[in-house]
Amino acid sequence: MSQPPVRVALVGYGYVGKTFHAPLIAATPGLELSAVVSSDAAKVRADWPEMTVHAGLAAALADPSIEVVVIATPDALHAEQAHAALDAGKHVVIDKPFTVSLDQARAVADHARQAGRLVSVFQNRRWDSDFQTLNALIQRGHLGEVVQYESHFDRFRPLVRDRWREKPGAGVLLDLGPHLVDQALVLFGMPQAVYADIAIQKDGGQAGDYFHLLLRYPRLRVLLHASQMTQASNLRLAVHGTGGSFIKSGLDAQEDQLKAGMVPGAPGYGEDPRPGVLIQLEDGEPVTTAVQPLPADYRDYYAALREAIRTGAPCPVTAEEAVAVMTVLDAARRSHATRSEVSL
């Protein structure tokens, strides 16, 4: 007999909830988007006419059929809402960042262990085409030992917008930093030390819109960079090893596809038409090879979450991994404040 679908309540229907979580959950076999918590029921029902909409979190938590609560609300609410969901016996997915502080992250992870429930962070960028392509090149030995890894999320958004992500206490370090740090930790593990430079470069900006992190390993150096004042913003990855270099331009296509209303899994979904470049020496001369990006699918995160709940398979992103990311981000903030390297 087939198992019933995992019933999910989505908390928050802003950009992230509407663009990413709702369509991905609905398009993942074995999951059912059963309810949305939002103060704007009309906005939700414009996309999902039959959806159950709750004005507050408590109503969703009181539904015994809901197994998973996905938190896609402003960062400052993540810890409080995660604790409430765990108290109600639910599994929890939190959109990045996990929390706004390392202490909060540790407390949520501890609560999940005590409650015997899964807590995971939606690190969808592990399922980016460029990252999966790079990971495959490394695993196949095409780069040899990686000695320098440079990862960019740059944009040109010079105007300050009236949104919570650009208010004091937020900023790109918490918005994009979790993605870049998580990818680095997946590939290389925890660094020995972190150095960070964070800045406000926009006129009238209230939160950091630029960061440059240096993660130091014994031989490897990892450079993580994000800017919102970069017009030439196409560089995504520049990775150099003893066996070759890989250069990739352009961001993964899935966010733009989801924004345009493409259904996850439709023909062409997750396909990146822009090849990367692998440069290797042959007989002392550089040889350049085009590397076609692997197709990718953010639904793989939710499919893995379903299996973790139904079969006990590994959680796609564990609470411990989320705490590790917050440890690096906490070190970055301390490094910036003291203008010094912070050892881990």
Question: Cα–Cα distance between 65 and 29 in angstroms, integer?
Answer: 18
Domains of the chain: 6-122 (3.40.50.720), 125-297+328-343 (3.30.360.10)
> Using an 8 Å Cβ cutoff, are 212 and 224 in contact?
yes
Cβ atoms within 10 Å of 219's Cβ, excluding its own: 10
3 state DSSP class of 105: helix
Using the 8-state DSSP alphabet, how is residue 17 labeled?
Answer: I
What does the pLDDT read at residue 168?
Answer: 78
In 3D, which of 147, 227, 244 has the Cα closest to residue 188? 147
What does the pLDDT read at residue 102?
Answer: 97
Put simply, whether the predicted model's pTM sits higher than 0.85 gets the answer yes
Question: Cα–Cα distance between 134 and 292 in angstroms, integer?
Answer: 11
Burial profile 156-174: b = 16 or more Cβ within 10 angstroms, e = fewer: eeeebeeeebbeeebbbbb
pLDDT in single tens digits along all 344 residues of the chain: 478 999 999 999 999 999 999 999 999 999 999 999 999 999 999 999 999 999 999 999 999 999 999 999 999 999 999 999 999 999 999 999 999 999 999 999 999 999 999 999 999 999 999 999 999 999 999 999 999 999 999 999 998 887 767 777 778 999 999 999 999 999 999 999 999 999 999 998 888 899 999 999 999 999 999 999 999 989 999 999 999 999 999 999 999 999 999 999 999 999 999 999 999 999 888 999 999 999 999 999 999 999 999 999 999 999 999 999 999 999 999 999 999 999 99
What does the pLDDT read at residue 253?
Answer: 96
3 state DSSP class of 29: coil
The amino acid sitting at 59 is A
